[in-house]
């Protein structure tokens, strides 16, 4: 079995599609997914490219293992973020990535450039693609998915209106490439949807069965099999790191109203009940069936002081239909509530008010009125216009998820050094720090860097991160089975990919002054600034970066990156 080794290049302005061979060296160096997408993005974009301009590229990237390994198939949306101005890779699972893999045939992804003059979609089938006018512009994500025959990744009103944290929704809104605003890039390109038609790839069944047995018996995956991602809110609350009511306090009065107990009482089933990795829980509410994830309860429940389970699930469903990243959307609502309390904005809204949140989310997606328009560009943009920059924490303009570094200081470094802004998926050291007592700055730096490199490899394969613990060799056995021979050990490949995304961000003007501890988290009861700076110093030393956060020449030579510096 041979891994895909070509790329489809789609020019929306000219409506042309060409198939090109991926350089063999790039496949050995970057594998696929995040790594290969980052290499193409670095090559295609000039420094200072407008993320919402036609010169920005958007890649739908697969990996050599997409659809073959156990767990949820995934794809990576790779672009320059309109929210942060940094490198962006955002992921979604479900049916669409596996169908896209079958539809692309020998191609490992789509590279989309230019902008259409009218709303279009891209149809992909039998290793070919075509750009077709579409009449679904203006529809929400669920309606758009039903509009087409095939598996659909699309944008909703938020993407059409270029909301800086708009998502790309797939599987009728059940899965989203959520953070960083890839949906806004689609909207700027007048690209409503990618429609894939094909049979998911098959093969390596014996190897897959062996890894499925590993997953079923591995204690590191127990929590996901039992509770899905909703366990996140119970865990964060238990260790004192659950941000609540706009980061004003930690923890909620009764986590059972939002977490595992609540969802188990209401669930009608799991996403994939017959598969080894069952996914999250399905819940029926008055507004329809939804699949709330851990971030839903953390950002739209605890973060907004709402403890009514159905109301939180329905707010998550609304974000899914509008195509809004629920973490940044929840933070935008929380900022508004606090700004209203301070008299910074004139808005009648308060914590524990799902109706007020619902109304504001609609205004953000449609950019209605001055407040909705400002919030559509992110919390930092709203604070710049109205004031209140100290109310809700962000890093590189991206809102923090609900893991509060004041309860686990290693998360401050993880957020600050994430290559796409405040993100817990690059590294989640809280999972270990919570059970290991105080960590030295050296250990924090090491734990964060190792996890960032490891996940860079896994997201280049691309595999389900919740099944990843059973890939103790980072997928080397699987890569050999599909004929991929990396040019070095996989941990070094991960370090190379992480360094490449840092080079992209440095080229865009980012440095130490952007790898920051957000103001709302500092202070006597927060994260000590001297301790944070010590962690950052050790991290830079470990990474072989300069004191201002730039990779050194010796590092680039060691990682075979000198040719792109």
385 with 457, same domain: the answer is: no
- In the numeric block, which tokens belong to residue 277? 């990795």
For the record, the structure tokens of 149 come out as: 């025959």
The predicted-structure confidence for 510-565, as pLDDT tens digits, reads as follows: 999 999 999 899 988 899 999 999 999 999 999 999 999 999 999 999 999 988 86
Cα–chain-centroid distance for residue 210?
Answer: 29
- pLDDT for the residue numbered 9: 98
Q: Is residue 289 a part of any domain in this protein?
A: yes
Count of domains observed in the chain: 3
Asked if residue 248 is part of any domain, the answer here is yes
pLDDT value for 565: 63
Which two tokens mark 205?
């069944």
Shared domain check, 386 and 318: yes
| Count of beta carbons in the 10 Å neighbourhood of residue 183 | 36
Say if pTM beats, i.e. exceeds, 0.95: yes
Tens of pLDDT along 132-183? Answer: 999 999 999 999 999 999 999 999 999 999 999 999 999 999 999 999 999 9
What stretches in the chain show pLDDT beneath 70?
1, 565
What SS3 class is residue 126? coil
Indicate whether 57 and 106 sit together in one domain: yes
423 domain-assigned: no
Question: Are residues 234 and 147 part of one domain?
Answer: no
> What's the CATH code of the domain at 548?
1.10.599.10
The C-alpha atoms of residue 294 and residue 316 are separated, in whole angstroms, by: 11
- Same structural domain, 145 and 294: no
Shared-domain flag, residues 179 and 284: no
At how many degrees (to 10) do helices 326-341 and 379-386 cross?
20
Pair 40, 174 in one domain: yes
Q: Do the beta carbons of residue 417 and residue 396 sit within 8 Å?
A: no
Indicate the SS3 state at residue 289: strand
Looking at the DSSP assignment, which residues form a beta bridge with residue 250?
243
Q: Same structural domain for residues 474 and 546?
A: yes
Q: Are 90 and 188 found together in one domain? A: yes
Strand 267-270 versus strand 191-197 pairing type:
unpaired
Residue 392 Cα distances to 334, 335, 398, 520, angstroms = 8, 6, 11, 7
In a domain, 347, yes or no: yes
CATH number, domain at 179? Answer: 3.60.9.10
Domain span including residue 296: 220-399
Rounded Cα gap, residues 131 and 10, in angstroms:
8
């Amino acid at each position: 079995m041979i891994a895909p080794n070509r790329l489809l290049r789609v020019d929306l302005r000219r409506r042309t599609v060409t198939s090109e061979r991926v350089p063999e060296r790039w496949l050995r160096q970057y594998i696929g997914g995040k790594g290969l997408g980052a290499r193409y993005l670095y090559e295609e974009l000039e420094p200072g490219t407008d993320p919402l301009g036609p010169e920005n590229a958007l890649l739908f990237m697969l990996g050599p293992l997409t659809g073959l390994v156990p767990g949820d198939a995934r794809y990576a949306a790779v672009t320059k973020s309109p929210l942060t101005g940094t490198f962006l890779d955002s992921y979604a699972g479900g049916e669409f990535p596996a169908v896209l893999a079958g539809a692309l045939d020998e191609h490992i992804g789509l590279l989309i450039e230019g902008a259409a003059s009218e709303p279009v979609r891209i149809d992909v089938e039998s290793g070919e693609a075509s750009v077709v006018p579409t009449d679904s512009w203006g529809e929400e994500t669920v309606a758009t998915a039903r509009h087409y025959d095939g598996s659909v990744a699309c944008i909703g009103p938020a993407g059409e209106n270029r909301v800086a944290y708009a998502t790309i929704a797939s599987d009728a809104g059940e899965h989203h490439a959520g953070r960083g605003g890839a949906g806004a890039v689609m909207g700027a390109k007048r690209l409503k949807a990618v429609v894939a038609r094909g049979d998911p790839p098959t093969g390596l069944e014996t190897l897959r069965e062996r890894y499925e047995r590993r997953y079923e018996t591995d204690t590191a995956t127990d929590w996901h099999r039992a509770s899905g991602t909703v366990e996140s809110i119970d865990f964060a609350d238990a260790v004192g790191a659950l941000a609540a009511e706009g980061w004003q306090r930690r923890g909620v009065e009764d986590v059972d109203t939002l977490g595992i107990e609540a969802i188990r009482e209401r669930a009608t089933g799991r996403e994939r009940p017959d598969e080894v990795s069952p996914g999250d829980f399905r819940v029926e509410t008055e507004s329809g069936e939804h699949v709330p994830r851990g971030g839903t309860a953390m950002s739209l429940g605890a973060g907004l002081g709402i403890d009514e389970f159905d109301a939180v699930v329905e707010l998550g469903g609304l974000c899914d239909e509008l195509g809004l990243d629920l973490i940044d959307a929840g933070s935008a609502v929380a900022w508004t509530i606090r700004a209203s309390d301070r008299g910074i904005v004139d808005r009648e809204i308060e914590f524990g008010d799902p109706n007020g949140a619902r109304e504001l989310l609609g205004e953000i997606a449609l950019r209605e009125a001055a407040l909705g328009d400002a919030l559509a560009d992110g919390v930092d943009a709203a604070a710049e216009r109205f004031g209140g920059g100290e109310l809700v924490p962000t890093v590189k303009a991206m809102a923090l998820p609900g893991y509060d570094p004041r309860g686990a200081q290693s998360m401050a470094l993880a957020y600050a050094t994430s290559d796409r802004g405040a993100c817990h998926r690059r590294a989640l050291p809280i999972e270990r720090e919570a059970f290991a007592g105080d960590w030295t700055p050296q250990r924090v730096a090491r734990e964060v860097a190792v996890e960032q490199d490891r996940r860079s490899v896994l997201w280049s394969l691309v595999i389900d991160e919740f099944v990843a613990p059973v890939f103790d060799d980072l997928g080397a056995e699987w890569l050999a089975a599909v004929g991929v021979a990396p040019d070095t050990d996989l941990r070094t490949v991960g370090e190379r990919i992480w360094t490449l995304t840092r080079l992209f961000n440095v080229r865009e003007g980012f440095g130490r002054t952007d790898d920051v501890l957000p103001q709302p988290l500092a202070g006597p009861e927060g994260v000590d600034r001297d301790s944070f700076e010590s962690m950052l110093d050790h991290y830079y030393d470990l990474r072989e970066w300069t004191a201002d956060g730039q990779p050194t020449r010796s590092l680039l030579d060691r990682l075979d990156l000198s040719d792109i510096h």
